[in-house]
Amino acid sequence: MSTDATTVNFSAGSRIVRCPAGQIDASGPWLFWTAQPRAVLRRSVERHGQLLPVLVDWSGQGPVLLAGAARTACLVGLGRDVACLDMGRLDAWEKGLVYVRSNADRDLSDGQIVKALRYFQRLDPGRTGDVHEELGLEPRSRRERLVVEWLSLPVMWDRFLQEGHAPLACADLLAGFGPDGLEMLAPLFEHLSWSRGSAVNLLTWLQESSVRDGRTIRELMDEAGVEGILRSDLSPKDAMSRITANVRCLRFPRLSRMEQDFAATARTIAAGTRWRLIQPDQFESGKVELSVAVGGLSGLHTAAQDLVRMASHEGWGALFSGDDR
Amino acid sequence: MSVLPAHLRGISRVVVDAAVARSPVASRVHQRLSDLPWEILADGERLTPGLSREDILYLKQYRGRFLRFCPGTSHYRCCGYQIIHIGENCPLRCSYCILQAYFQDRVLKVWANQDDLWRELDEAFSAHPGRRVRVGTGEFTDSLVLEPLTGYSHDLVAFLARYPQVCLELKSKVVDLSWMEAASDPIRVLPAWSLNSPAIVDTEEQGVCASLEQRLAAAQTCARAGFRVCLHFDPIIYYPGWQDGYARTAEMIFDYLRPADIAYVSMGSFRHMPELRRCIAENFPGSTYIYGEFITGLDGKQRLLKPLRVEQFRFLVTRLRRGGLDQQLYLCMESDEVWQAVLGRTPENLGGLYRHLMDLAFGE
């Protein structure tokens, strides 16, 4: 068996052995992405038996599983022996590599990649880059950069990534917050699953407001009422919308106020009609866009009459000029 | 040889295209930077990739068009001036500078094939001797920042003296008046300085530009010599306490200049492409004005929310009007709505901004 850091090959000494499934130690931390075997695999193993050996290191007292956890689990359930390919004595780094390579055709999620890299990071933080390509990270790609950034975060954040609560795209933003900021932000990701765009916006607005206004993340989140929203019985979607809107108000106070004023006046003008009034360009042009959907002539006549009535409303001046009068 | 100004002391190497190695510009640079390494690029050879540093001065044989229109932008009013392209990049380190996002590298480039420039300008200006033209060199570089080395503006002023229909604006943040002796008619040259609030000059112009006092004193010198000057409040930046800063600068103008000394004053709010914001955040992490309330303008660039821009413009206009300026005031890249809200008139009321500024430039 080669002990080269990046090359682990079969040697002439590799051998196939059989042992009872329950005898295999399948608790190694290098088994990064194990999951309950799928029904199709269970059925196949039950009907046709084990067609491929699992990989083990049997250099010690008993076989230590290196790869093949799903097959082993099936065979444990069936109480059968397991055919193992004994790879010989491997160190912890090599065990991790064997597992990664035996899963080389898997399409790995960001969370899976980070989980594997945390293992290698604990063994030798200076060498994790050696494994990037094995994990499908293109050299100098955005994904690689973000993964590296993510590894600078406390390990507790990995769960948020793995559970889909925090997207990898946030890595560099999160890394910029520092320990206190991260501690304040963690509750946001505990139970809420943020989309990439929403999370990036939220964190960007918080970070920029903090830098611009010289305020801590705690102060900003207090002002945005985040804690109260998280404790409320709002649905996750509504809670995220409320938090996002409140944080946006902190980042863009004047624009938010103008949008609120516009919406209130537009509602008054269009009350009782099917017309929709929007400001199309963040008040840059001072224009108002009106739209209505009609299904026939009668609807068209009604919309036209509504428009005539709306045109005499005194609120239009405020809509057209924004607040730069 | 006189001591180089601080902003030129960082140049550590000169690269020259062989075709322009004996040009007047190259000879002057060679004389003034005789102690620096001097590398000549053979015809067809390019500057080595990776040499994208601001400490390199590259005297280049430029093959593109020297005379071009200001790129302007859609939906907003452009002053319509024409650019004489004499080089790229600038050794001054202003945090807000568009050039850091506009060009691929930071190499200081000078188009040293002046004969080609003269030929192109002569063709353009001789073809329409009756058509007035307002030109400037301060779009892709500072007009005067390399003047102690190249004497470029001196040459240009001397060359343009034979075209009375051309008015040249030299826009800068440094003080170098060596070009003045080449100006036979002060009416045809408009020295111009960028102005900002003292706080912005101190924190965002990184200390190697001339101070506000020096810029205005230089403008005063020009005015006393019969030149009219231009002042540019661009970019106006929104930051806590901006009122005090811009009020102070407006006051200072009239300590040095009479309204009649000033051809025109432009005002432009800080606007940027998204790439520039990234550059500023990376290169100048202390520059927090980039986190203001910017929206995407009608031209796709980021602009300060309109009411905030209008508030700043109105504030400044009020103070400049108190000093006696009015018709000379114009807005750079703004909509008619903003013009109306700030100045109470639109470019149309002035007969068009292009024509209005042309009249002001020619003192009419």
Shared domain check, A227 and A122: yes
Q: Retrieve residue B149's tokens.
A: 């080395």
pLDDT over threshold 70, residue A8:
no
Residues in chain B with CB shorter than 8 Å from the CB of A209 are 291
Asked if the Cβ–Cβ distance from A258 to B307 is below 8 Å, we say yes
3-state secondary structure of B168: strand
List C-alpha distances in Å: B309 to B162, B199, B267.
41, 18, 10
pLDDT of residue A11: 59
Shared domain check, A228 and A194: yes
pLDDT of residue A7: 46
Asked if the Cβ–Cβ distance from A285 to B293 is below 8 Å, we say no
Shared domain check, A194 and A153: yes
- Asked if B299 and B75 count as a contact pair (C-beta separation under 8 A), the reply is yes
Asked if A48 reaches chain B (Cβ–Cβ under 8 Å), the answer is no
Domain of A83, CATH number, reads 3.90.1530
Strands of B302-304's sheet in order across: B271-272, B302-304, B294-296
On whether residue A325 sits in a domain, the answer given is no
Asked if the Cβ–Cβ distance from B307 to A282 is below 8 Å, we say no
Indicate the pTM of the whole model: 0.87
Q: Which of B291, B295, B311 sits opposite A282 (nearest CB)?
A: B295
Q: Which of A212, A253, A286 sits opposite B288 (nearest CB)?
A: A212
Q: Which residue on chain A is closest to B336 by alpha carbon? A: A285
Number of domain units in chain A: 3
pLDDT of residue A3: 38
On whether residue A25 sits in a domain, the answer given is yes
Q: Which of A251, A255, A324 sits opposite B295 (nearest CB)?
A: A255
On whether residue A88 sits in a domain, the answer given is yes
Q: Which residue on chain B is closest to A207 by alpha carbon? A: B291
Q: A221: which residues sit within 8 A by CB, 6+ positions away?
A: A184, A206, A227
Asked if the Cβ–Cβ distance from A285 to B298 is below 8 Å, we say yes
pLDDT of residue A2: 39
Shared domain check, A269 and A148: no
> Where does a domain end: A41, A71, A100?
A100
- Asked if B276 and B100 count as a contact pair (C-beta separation under 8 A), the reply is yes
Residues in chain B with CB shorter than 8 Å from the CB of A255 are 293, 295, 305
On whether residue A183 sits in a domain, the answer given is yes
Residue type, B161: A
Question: C-alpha A233: how far from its chain's center?
Answer: 24
Q: B33: which residues sit within 8 A by CB, 6+ positions away?
A: B11, B14, B57, B149
Q: What is the dihedral of CA B313, B318, B319, B325, to 10 degrees?
A: 100
pLDDT of residue B190: 97
pLDDT digits (tens, 9 = 90+) for A114-137: 999 999 999 999 999 999 999 999
Asked if the Cβ–Cβ distance from B307 to A283 is below 8 Å, we say yes
Which residue in A284, A285, A320 has the most chain B C-beta atoms within 10 A of its own C-beta, making it the best mutation to test that interface? A284
pLDDT of residue B304: 97
pLDDT of residue A323: 55
Largest Cα–Cα separation, chain B: 58
Q: Which residue on chain B is closest to A287 by alpha carbon? A: B337
Q: Which of A208, A253, A281 sits opposite B298 (nearest CB)?
A: A281
Phi and psi of B294, rounded to 5°?
A: -95, 145
pLDDT of residue A58: 93
Give the distance from residue A43's alpha carbon to the nearest chain B alpha carbon, in angstroms: 55
H helices of A11-133, in order, are 39-48, 69-78, 92-102, 110-123
Shared domain check, A117 and A71: no
Shared domain check, A247 and A113: yes
Residue A46: pLDDT band by 50, 70, 90 thresholds? very high
Q: Bigger pLDDT: A173 or B69?
A: A173
pLDDT over threshold 70, residue A13:
no
Q: Which of B293, B306, B310 sits opposite A252 (nearest CB)?
A: B293
pLDDT of residue B15: 94
pLDDT over threshold 80, residue B207:
no
pLDDT over threshold 70, residue A322:
no
Shared domain check, A258 and A244: no
Question: Is residue A286 packed enough to be buried (19+ CB in 10 Å), middle (13-18) or exposed (0-12)?
Answer: middle
> Where does a domain end: A251, A267, A297?
A251
pLDDT digits (tens, 9 = 90+) for B24-76: 999 999 999 999 989 999 988 888 765 567 789 999 999 999 999 877 677 77
On whether residue A311 sits in a domain, the answer given is yes
Shared domain check, A121 and A233: yes
Angle at A107 between CA A102 and CA A108, to 5 degrees: 85
pLDDT of residue A5: 37
Q: Which of A208, A283, A285 sits opposite B305 (nearest CB)?
A: A283
CA dist B332 and B182 (Å) reads 30
On whether residue A309 sits in a domain, the answer given is yes
Shared domain check, A142 and A236: yes
Shared domain check, A119 and A94: no
Asked if A113 reaches chain B (Cβ–Cβ under 8 Å), the answer is no
Asked if the Cβ–Cβ distance from A254 to B297 is below 8 Å, we say no
Shared domain check, A121 and A69: no
Angle at B310 between CA B305 and CA B311, to 5 degrees: 100
pLDDT of residue B78: 74
pLDDT of residue B182: 96
Determine the average pLDDT of the residues in B175-191. 94
ipTM for the complex? 0.88
Determine the average pLDDT of the residues in B279-289. 93
Calculate the average pLDDT of chain A: 93
Asked if the Cβ–Cβ distance from B288 to A211 is below 8 Å, we say yes
CB contacts < 8 A (A, B): 50
Calculate the average pLDDT of chain B: 93
pLDDT of residue B75: 78
Domain of residue A219: give its range. Answer: 108-251
- Which chain B residues touch A if contact means CB-CB below 8 Å? 288, 291-293, 295-298, 303, 305-308, 310-311, 335, 337, 341
pLDDT of residue A1: 41
The sign of the dihedral angle between the CA atoms of B221, B222, B228, B233 is negative
pLDDT digits (tens, 9 = 90+) for B88-98: 999 998 999 99
Give the distance from residue B298's alpha carbon to the nearest chain A alpha carbon, in angstroms: 7
On whether residue A150 sits in a domain, the answer given is yes
> Where does a domain end: A206, A236, A251?
A251
pLDDT over threshold 90, residue B317:
yes
Determine the average pLDDT of the residues in B121-143. 92
pLDDT of residue A254: 97
End-to-end CA distance of chain B: 42
Residue B295 pairs with which residues in a beta bridge?
Answer: B303
pLDDT of residue B54: 73
On whether residue A324 sits in a domain, the answer given is no
Shared domain check, A197 and A292: no
